């Protein structure tokens, strides 16, 4: 037998070779390759997101506008789900069996081991019932989230709403993960970064079944969520609510600004919607209802509607005329009433008229003459037009003023090239574009821009960028809000204009608009509308000296400026400055509240 004893070496060689292969493999696996150490960390540590509560929003006087309420997401870990009573489950969660099945399939597709959300935003009331029964359902757990709650239905447009992030948000900012919330419009959107806070993470040690075994290093590496920063808005809740009330059953917009600071006191777009409609599980359904509503409640008129400014624009044209010295305080233009060419006058007043009377009476022929002389002062119409245009632009018209409002528009301010395109170069003059003199034609101005325009007049020639945020707690706000913008018109030119506006209110609109003991300056406007009743426009500020509020009111189909827009503006000013409406003016308030202008074809 010993002939084969040398074969022991072959056998030992086989043993040793296998052993060496193992040692070499293990050396690679354990010493050289660091990837496995990384995998091990991923395997054991499961990071759990700690959601941050959003910051609260207050009004300028510290009244709470937006706060948070708790809701619960029901999570499912398919791996751990056992047999359960689906009927009970569905009735507890108020979902259908089909929804449940689809949800479970989706969760399984996402991951067998990781939890995913099955039912979102369960109300605390439903949760209280569910919690009692949850032990019967293995593989399900809840996670608390915060939802927005509103102290009133006011300022839905300005405040905006919050929704789940979309794939584009996630692409843009890797802070967001699917299922997170993000501000979608209004303050919620502009100040998203301040409001959202910072999500935290909790590191848990988990076993292969994703069962939590305890916190990692006793929570030393956990990052607690940081609550979002509270924001104080410039809005005045009382004024905002009152303005919204006045606008019931009407379409239109109000923007009120504190002239000295550019702070937006109220911002109404009517019809509005109740912000609670866009919170929680009902959001999707309500959103599509609101989108398809013919009154367009989601449309924020104060930022996005481009209205022709109408007669309110006469103020700026007169100011430009004075600054350009095309007219002066001694200038008089004749007015022949309805027989005047090329623009007739719609008001009855004496003739000839000077600057103050022209503003008071809203005299079209005066403005036409002024506009013509501005443009004709220059060698060509185009040159004159450009000079005029740069004045208008300095008032923030044709510029996007909406510094901290999302989706603001810059409006339409026609340029030389626009007219060259329409009429051909050198084939247009002041006469061609004469409607600009009275605020009609190609102009499209947003209520925000108009309110800012009112503030400039109130300030006698300067403005701060209108903004809606007064303070972000422990944070700064944009320095542009403190930058004084001065328009290139001499301060002295404002006084006769303001006098005209004061007289307009005090003399022509005494019955409906004059507020006792308050000197309010205003300018009405009536915007022609081919599709129905004309629109009612009013621009005002008060008091005359040291103005506290400047506002612009636009009432669609309100017929004349003096019929709705002006009285409503006066009520808002009175409310803001005195805190209440004088007894003898209560009937005006009632008339305004009762008016229903939603039918665009109402009799004139």
Partner 1 sequence: MAKRNNIWANIDWVLILIFLLLVFMGWLNIYAAVYNEEFQSIFDTSQRYGKQLIWIGAALVIGFIILLTDTNFFVFFSYIFYGFLILLLFLVLFFGREINGAKSWFIIGGFGFQPSEFMKFATGLVLARYMSTFGFKIHKIKSLAVISAIIFAPIVLILLQNDTGSALVYFSFVLVLYREGLSGIVLFFGFLIAVLFVLALIVSNLTLGLILLAAVLLVYLIFSTKQHRVTRVFLIYAISLGLFFILNFILNDKFEVSVVIAASSILGSLVVMYLSISKRLVNYGLISLIFLGSVLFTFSVDYAFDNLLEPHHQVRINELLRIESNPQGAGYHVNQSKIAIGSGGVLGKGYLNGTQTKFDFVPEQSTDFIFCTVGEEWGFAGTTTVIILFLFLLTRLVWLAERQRSGFSRIYGYSVAVILFFHFMVNIGMTIGLMPVIGIPLPFFSYGGSSLWSFTILLFIFIRLDASRLEQF
List, in sequence order, every beta strand (DSSP E) within 38-139: 45-50, 57-58, 64-76, 116-122
Work out the number of other CB atoms within 10 angstroms of the CB of residue 519: 16
Nearer to partner 1, 11 or 87 (CB): 11
Least distance from partner 1 to the Cβ atom of residue 224, Å:
24
The answer to whether residues 257 and 540 touch, using CB atoms and an 8 Å cutoff, is: no
How far is it, in rounded angstroms, from Cα 470 to Cα 63? 13
For partner 1, the closer of residues 11 and 510 by Cβ is 11
Smallest separation (angstroms) from partner 1 to the CB of 112:
7
Residue selected from 65, 206, 497, 501 as contacting partner 1 according to rule CB under 8 A? 206
Least distance CB 35 / partner 1 (angstroms): 7
Secondary structure class of 226 (helix, strand, coil): strand
40 near partner 1, judged by CB under 8 A: yes
CB-based contacts of 134: which residues, under 8 Å, 6+ apart?
A: 140, 141, 142
- Does 114 interact with partner 1 (rule: CB under 8 A)? no
**CA-closest candidate to residue 51, choices 105, 111, 134, 120:** 120
Q: How far is the CB of 134 from partner 1 (least distance, A)?
A: 24
Please identify, using beta-carbon distances, which residue of 138 and 293 lies nearer to partner 1.
Answer: 138
Concatenating the DSSP letter of every residue in 424-445 gives -TTS--TTTTGGGGGT-TT-BB
Could you tell me how many residues of this chain bind partner 1 (CB under 8 A)? 39
Q: How far is the CB of 25 from partner 1 (least distance, A)?
A: 5
Query: 20 or 486: whose CB is closer to partner 1?
Result: 20
Q: Is 107 in the site for partner 1 (CB under 8 A)?
A: no
Going by C-alpha positions, the residue among 122, 115, 117, 52 that lies closest to residue 93 is 122
What's the angle, vertex CA 296, arms to CA 554 and CA 305, rounded to 5?
Answer: 40
Q: What does DSSP assign to residue 265? A: E
Among 87, 208, 510, 511, binds partner 1 (CB under 8 A): 208
Which residue in 36, 84, 336, 587 binds partner 1 (CB under 8 A)?
36
CB of 42 to partner 1, least distance (A): 9
Among the residue ranges 28-36, 265-273, 416-424, 439-447, the one whose residues contact partner 1 (CB under 8 A): 28-36
C-alpha neighbours within 13 Å on the C-beta side of residue 80: 20
Closest approach, Cβ 140 to partner 1, in A, equals 21
Ranges within 213-242 binding partner 1 (CB under 8 A):
213
**Cβ atoms of residues 482 and 419 within 8 Å:** no
Tell me how far apart the alpha carbons of residues 333 and 239 are, in angstroms, rounded to a whole number: 41
Exposure letters 566-602 (e unless 16+ CB within 10 A, then b): bbbbbbbbbbbeeeebeeebeebbeebeebebeeeee
CB 397 within 8 A of CB 339: no
Q: Cβ closer to partner 1: 113 or 336?
A: 113
- H/E stretch holding 186 reads helix 186-190
Which of 91, 96, 102, 112 touches partner 1 (CB under 8 A)? 112
DSSP symbols for 522-571? EEEEEE--TTSSPEEEEEEEE-SSS--EEEEEEETT--SIIIIIHHHHHH
Residue 14 or residue 422: which is nearer to partner 1 going by CB? 14
Contact 72, 127 (CB under 8 A): yes
Nearest to 414 by CA among 438, 457, 373, 445: 445
Is 109 a binding residue for partner 1 by CB under 8 A? The answer is no
Contacts of 441 (CB under 8 A, 6+ apart): 308, 414, 433, 435
Neighbours of 249 (CB within 10 A): 13
Cβ-based neighbours of 127, under 8 Å, separated by 6 or more: 71, 72, 142
Closest distance of CB 97 from partner 1, Å: 28
Nearer to partner 1, 41 or 178 (CB): 41
Nearer to partner 1, 29 or 129 (CB): 29
Least distance between partner 1 and beta carbon 179 (Å): 22
Q: Which DSSP state fits 514? A: P
480 binds partner 1, rule: CB under 8 A: no
Is 15 a binding residue for partner 1 by CB under 8 A? The answer is yes
Residue 26 found at the interface with partner 1 (CB under 8 A): yes
Q: List the one residue from 1, 87, 510, 511 that touches partner 1 (CB under 8 A).
A: 1
Q: Tell me: does residue 128 bind partner 1 (CB under 8 A).
A: no
Q: How far is the CB of 79 from partner 1 (least distance, A)?
A: 10
Q: How far is the CB of 170 from partner 1 (least distance, A)?
A: 24
Site for partner 1, residues 526 to 565, rule: CB under 8 A: none
Using CB under 8 A as the binding rule, whether residue 19 contacts partner 1 is answered as yes
154-162, 174-182, 206-214, 512-520 -> range binding partner 1 (CB under 8 A)? 206-214
Nearer to partner 1, 30 or 249 (CB): 30
Binding site for partner 1 (CB under 8 A): 1, 3-5, 7-8, 10-12, 14-16, 18-19, 21-23, 25-27, 29-31, 33, 35-37, 39-40, 43-44, 112-113, 205-209, 213
């Amino acid at each position: 037998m010993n002939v084969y004893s040398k074969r022991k070496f072959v056998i030992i060689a086989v043993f040793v070779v296998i052993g060496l292969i193992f040692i070499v493999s293990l050396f690679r696996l354990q010493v050289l390759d660091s990837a496995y150490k990384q995998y091990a960390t991923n395997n054991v540590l499961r990071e759990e997101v700690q959601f941050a509560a959003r910051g609260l929003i207050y009004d300028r006087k510290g009244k709470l506008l937006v706060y948070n309420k708790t809701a619960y997401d029901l999570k499912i870990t398919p791996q751990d789900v056992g047999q359960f009573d689906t009927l009970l489950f569905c009735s507890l969660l108020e979902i259908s069996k089909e929804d449940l099945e689809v949800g479970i399939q989706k969760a399984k597709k996402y991951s067998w081991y990781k939890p995913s959300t099955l039912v979102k935003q369960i109300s605390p009331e439903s949760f209280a019932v569910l919690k009692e029964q949850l032990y019967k359902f293995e593989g399900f757990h809840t996670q608390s989230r915060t939802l927005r709650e509103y102290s009133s239905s006011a300022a839905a447009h300005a405040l905006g709403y919050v929704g789940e992030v979309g794939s584009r948000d996630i692409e843009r900012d890797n802070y967001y993960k699917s299922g997170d919330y993000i501000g979608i419009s209004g303050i919620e959107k502009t100040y998203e970064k301040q409001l959202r806070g910072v999500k935290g993470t909790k590191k848990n040690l988990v076993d292969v079944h994703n069962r939590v075994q305890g916190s990692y290093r006793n929570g030393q590496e956990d990052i607690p969520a940081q609550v979002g920063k509270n924001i104080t808005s410039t809005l005045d809740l009382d004024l905002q609510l009152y303005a919204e009330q006045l606008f019931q059953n009407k379409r239109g917009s109000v923007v009120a600004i504190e002239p000295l600071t550019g702070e937006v006191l109220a911002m109404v777009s009517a019809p509005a919607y109740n912000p609670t409609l866009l919170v929680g599980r009902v959001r999707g359904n309500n959103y599509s209802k609101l989108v398809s509503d013919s009154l367009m409640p989601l449309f924020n008129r104060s930022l996005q509607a481009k209205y022709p400014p109408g007669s309110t624009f006469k103020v700026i044209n007169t100011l430009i005329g004075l600054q350009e010295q095309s007219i002066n305080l001694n200038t008089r233009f004749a007015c022949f009433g309805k027989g005047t060419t090329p623009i007739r006058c719609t008001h009855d007043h004496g003739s000839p008229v000077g600057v103050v009377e022209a503003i008071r009476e809203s005299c079209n022929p005066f403005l036409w003459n002024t506009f013509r002389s501005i443009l004709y002062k220059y060698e060509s119409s185009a040159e004159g037009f450009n000079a005029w245009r740069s004045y208008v632009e300095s008032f923030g018209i044709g510029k996007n003023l909406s510094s901290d409002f999302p989706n603001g528009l810059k409006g339409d301010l026609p340029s030389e090239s626009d007219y060259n395109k329409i009429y051909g170069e050198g084939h247009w003059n002041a006469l061609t574009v004469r409607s600009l003199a009275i605020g009609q034609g190609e102009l499209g101005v947003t209520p925000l821009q108009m309110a800012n325009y009112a503030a400039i007049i109130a300030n006698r020639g300067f403005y701060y960028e209108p903004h809606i945020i007064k303070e972000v707690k422990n944070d700064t706000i944009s320095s542009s809000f403190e930058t004084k913008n001065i328009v290139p018109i001499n301060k002295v030119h404002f006084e006769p204009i303001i006098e005209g506006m004061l007289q307009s209110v005090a003399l022509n609109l005494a019955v409906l608009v004059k507020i006792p003991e308050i000197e309010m300056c205003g300018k009405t406007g009536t915007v022609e509308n081919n599709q129905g009743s004309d629109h009612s426009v009013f621009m005002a500020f008060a008091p005359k000296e040291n103005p506290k509020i400047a506002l612009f009111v636009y009432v669609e189909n309100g017929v004349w400026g003096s019929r709705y827009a002006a009285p409503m503006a006066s009520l808002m000013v009175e409310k803001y400055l005195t805190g209440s409406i004088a007894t003898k003016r209560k009937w005006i308030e009632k008339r305004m509240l009762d008016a229903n202008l939603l039918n665009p074809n109402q009799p004139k």
